Amino acid sequence: MINFSMPKWVKNILQKPLDIKQFTDAEVADLKQKLSKLSSTNPLVSVVIPAWNEELGILHTLISLANTNTKYDVELLIIDNNSTDGTAALLKSLGVKTFLETKQGVGHARTCGLHQAKGKYILTGDSDTLYPAGWITAMVEGMLNDSQVYCVHGSYSFLPSDSTPRWQYGLYEVLSGFIIKRKEKTQPFLNTLGFNSGFIRQKGIDVNGYDIETQRTFRGAAGVSEENATEDGMMALRLMQSGGKIKAIDSIEARVWTSDRRIQLDGGLKSALMLRIKKYL
């Protein structure tokens, strides 16, 4: 179901500052305590998020994950891809487990997370995205309940910007939903996006899933890759080719809220929609 306005939990997070210096000591301590619940030493699930210069961006993502409600043991890993701002210091102050990947590129960062993670299942996210409290449970159970499912992906809505109101994005998501459903029948790997997907960790290692010819850098500078897929789509494609299923998780708890950065990189809402219509229809 498409929301033409933002749910209350999203609004509550967006009302909070993006600069941790504007938080009180009590608020910082509370966030740190909540995040500590995502630091299992024997996790079933590893949530892996790459970050590059997100000192003033990742805090809302962390707040959303801190509100997670799940019965499964979870570890949260942030992969710092050579940040030059205060990203590393912010993560350290909150006690978030962080690994440094010096090779620049989203795929390199995700590969680092793939090999550092301890969970049987990996959920992948981004540092400009908000996750519902039931996201981890909804995504993981899509694999737990069917051994033939190697990979899952959820849906998404865009956070409004000053230039584009939420109702316009809601309309865009309704229209683009027809394209997404069409791809799901024959090319589900194209719907598997790194900010809202998951897979069986060992299966990902077995297929060397993030190894693509040219790695994307952050902020949307795209490189050339096989089958027109990026590192997340390539992981899903290889998992499918190895005999696994890709499953779309339709639950509202699997719908994340992400920035409109991707739309703006395509030239705005109208250009993005026309680009997708020409490409897939």
- Pairing between β-strand 149-153 and β-strand 245-248 as defined by DSSP bridges: parallel
What distance in Å separates the CA atoms of residue 79 and residue 157, rounded to the nearest whole number?
24
Show me where the domains of the chain are located.
Answer: 8-280
pTM of the entire structure? Answer: 0.91
Q: What is the CATH number of domain 8-280?
A: 3.90.550.10
Q: What is the radius of gyration, based on Cα positions, of the chain?
A: 18
**pLDDT digits (tens), the chain, 281 positions:** 788 899 999 999 999 999 999 999 999 999 999 999 999 999 999 999 999 999 999 999 999 999 999 999 999 999 999 999 999 999 999 999 999 999 988 999 999 999 999 999 999 999 999 999 999 999 999 999 999 999 999 999 999 988 888 999 999 999 888 889 999 999 999 999 999 999 999 999 999 889 877 666 554 433 333 334 589 999 999 999 999 999 999 999 999 999 988 787 777 777 877 776 666 55
